Amino acid sequence: MAEEMRRDERVFLMGEEVAEYNGAYKVSQGMVEEFGPRRIVDAPISETGFSGLGVGAAMYGLRPIIEFMSWSFCLVAADQIINNAPKMLYMSGGQFGCPAVFRGNNGAGGQLGSTHSWSVESMFSSVPGLKMAIPSTPRDAKGLLKSSIRAEDPVFFLESERMLGFGARGDKDFSRYLHANGNGGPTWAPPAPEDDDNFLIPFGQAEVKKSGTDCTVVAFGRPVHFALEAAEQLEKEGIDVEVIDPRTVRPLDIDTIIESVKKTHYCVVVDQSWPFASVAAEVGMQVYENALDHLDNKVIRVNNDDVPAPYSRALEQEALPHARKIVEAVRAVTYNA
């Protein structure tokens, strides 16, 4: 964000606690000292108000970054972010665009209860006129966010609270990947380049995080790491899994997924939102539409359990997608159960 603000004076950040408190998760640490309170703006607890302000600012030529402390809190701003922002260019006959980035934490953050643990990708990705990015690594987060800020369309940028300290606090879920090569990161997650104004990752370009021949596993966001952990376990059983991270849901790079399915003939889709009408359901349907003759079994989805997020740590972890569920799905779909 700081690089893009230095590059373009139209960019500003607004949200709860982003300035004086340096961000609820210290994402904007030091930015108010560099850019001042006119560009790093503390907002009241009113997502309806400050997201609407962001839409208006974007219509008049600025490039706002609107931070939701949690995407769970965006629901009160639904009229602004999904009924106005994505439709503005169309409704105005091309007179007003809305180049705004709405970003914040998505999914269960760790014992925050059901109302603070929403995964909103399935709810919002069906809306035409917006882009949606869900990074799984620091490198992808940087490249996609810079592309988001420069985009002419509204972008929903879904981060994971559980990964904000990625590589810093030694989270047990990812520590062995982070230190796999002895250089702070695995080969599939190189560090984000520093001070590179032109490091952009285009939307609609999936990345093969791990090549394989026996089963395609599609995952995005935090579940990518669980898919890679599952692939590591399955490799010991002689099952060579290919892990694909779409990185963006809108647009979706279905071509990369289809090419993989044509090679492996099996497909598992991992998605941290609920199963009914989920992104996983859409990906699975597109696989059927484009590669049915290449499938040797049905597509299996691994979703969050179809229940409100539990508060109990043990129950929450069990309800979410994790490596064991993915391993079981791959075994089942490849007839190795």
Of 3, 4, 16, 47, the active-site residue reads: 47
Which residue in the list 3, 16, 67, 116 is annotated as catalytic?
Answer: 116
Long-range contacts of residues 35-42, Cβ cutoff 8 Å, at least 24 apart: 35/2, 35/5, 38/12, 39/5, 39/11, 39/12, 39/13, 40/12, 40/13, 41/12, 41/13, 41/14, 41/15, 42/15, 42/16, 42/17, 42/18
Give the DSSP per-residue string, 76-135: GGHIIIIIIGGGHHHHTTTS-----EEEEE-S--SS--GGG----HHHHTTSTT-EEE--
The answer to whether 33 is a known catalytic residue is no
For tokens 């925050």, the residue is: 112
Residue 289 has, within 13 A of its CA and on its CB side, a CA count of 8
Known catalytic membership, residue 179: no
Residues 14, 67: contact at Cβ < 8 Å? yes
3-state DSSP: the chain helix, strand, coil percent, rounded to 5?
A: 40, 15, 45
Q: Residue 7: exposed, middle, or buried by beta-carbon count in 10 A (0-12, 13-18, 19+)?
A: middle
Enumerate the active-site residues.
Answer: 47, 116
